[in-house]
Amino acid sequence: MNYLVTGAAGYIGSHTVRELLARGARRVVAVDSLVRGHRGAIEALERVADGRLRFVHLDLRDRAALAALLAEERPDAVLHFAAFTLVGESVAHPAMYWSCGVGGTSSLLEAMRAAGTERMVFSSTAATYGAPERMPIAEDTPQVPVNPYGASKLACEAIIRGEVDAARAEGRAFGATMLRYFNVAGCASDGLLGEDHTPETHLVPSALQAALGQRPALQLFGTDYPTPDGTCIRDYVHVEDLATAHVDALQALHPHRCDAFNVGIGHGFSVREVFAECERVVGRPIPVQVAARRAGDPPVLLSDPARIMRELGWSPRHRTLTPMVESAWRWMQANPGGYPKP
Ligand code: UDP
């Protein structure tokens, strides 16, 4: 099959391109605006692609260029990752999140319709659920986002669902699957790809940056939450398991259907537990500082991944923090400045 992957130079997109290539993709068209993605990730993928990868530098909101690309490539399926992904930034710059999310997704759907591309896997998020009281979160938990990031992703889900409904009414075989991720950590186990965000705000790479002396200390955002050790609890999935979930979802995708699956391991770790694992893997104390709560952080977010396990047969290979932290640490030691910057 031929695939088009948006956001292919980003963290999850690049790991998923690699999984597609490993599972025998005939051709992958990797699209990225390189606003947050890295040319270095594409170069790494090219080294393992045997000529099956084409990179196209494009912002999805460039409707004409995107439509021309899909008309030329006529991919069998699209995996749509391209987005801004930081909750705090979305609160400060809501229009940027709505424009990129809704603008990019609708432009992509129009181009797909014109090109006759009938399968889509969409990168959604647990942030579409907001801060529900009942844990774990199943897919039928009401989606009440509490920030523009979650709200714009939920709007994208609605647009995609509408396209599936329209296709069904017209007898076209379009189908889509949304994957709602919880927390993601780790890197390719052989060190080919990594996690490189500027600024880095995620817990594991932030702790490891503190270990490398690239920041003065890891800030623990709140130690007075109503949890056993006072810090927030999150459900972490290894990025390679998440990549596998995308390809499994594509293979199981039904025409005329729009399904949503949570992707998590169904088990939580507190911020202190993650930090302790980072110190264990690094082998020395990491500077740490207690800080105020970060706005918008719910105390606990835990997935119920039963549906994806039951319906797609997906199950995470990694159920502990160790392989996530170890692979992230290896990549950061080998690439202390992240991917080479132009
Ligand atoms: N966190 C922290 N210090 C940091 C980064 C994150 O204490 O430097 C906490 C954060 O408050 C949250 C958890 O770690 O409770 C996971 O945050 P992350 O940004 O990795 O993912 P999110 O849950 O926001 O998607």
Reading the chain (342 residues) residue by residue, the pLDDT tens digits are 999 999 999 999 999 999 999 999 999 999 999 999 999 999 999 999 999 999 999 999 999 999 999 999 999 999 999 999 998 899 999 999 999 999 999 999 999 999 999 999 999 999 999 999 899 999 999 999 999 999 999 999 999 999 999 999 999 999 999 999 999 999 999 999 999 999 899 999 999 999 999 999 999 999 999 999 999 999 999 999 999 999 999 999 988 999 999 999 999 999 999 999 999 999 999 999 999 999 878 899 999 999 999 999 999 999 999 999 999 999 999 999 999 987
Q: What separation in Å is there between the alpha carbon of 220 and the centre of ligand 1?
A: 8
**Residue 245: Cβ-neighbour burial (10 angstroms; 0-12, 13-18, 19+):** buried
Q: Is any ligand 1 atom within 6 A of the Cβ of residue 220?
A: yes
Q: Is any ligand 1 atom within 6 A of the Cβ of residue 221?
A: yes
2-185+236-263 topology per CATH: Rossmann fold (3.40.50)
* CATH code of the domain made up of 203-234+267-334: 3.90.25.10
Give CA–CA dist 186/195, Å, rounded: 8
Q: Is any ligand 1 atom within 6 A of the Cβ of residue 203?
A: yes
Single out the catalytic residue among 149, 181, 225, 339: 149
Tokens of 4: 């088009």
User: Closest Cα to atom 12, ligand 1: which residue?
Assistant: 232
Q: Catalytic: 97?
A: no
Domain chopping of the chain, boundaries = 2-185+236-263, 203-234+267-334
CA quadruple 289, 290, 295, 297: dihedral positive or negative?
Answer: positive
Q: Which of 12, 272, 294, 324 to mutate to test the pocket of ligand 1 (most atoms within 8 A of CB)?
A: 294
User: Residue 103 carries which DSSP code?
Assistant: I
Q: Is any ligand 1 atom within 6 A of the Cβ of residue 271?
A: yes
pTM above 0.85, yes or no: yes
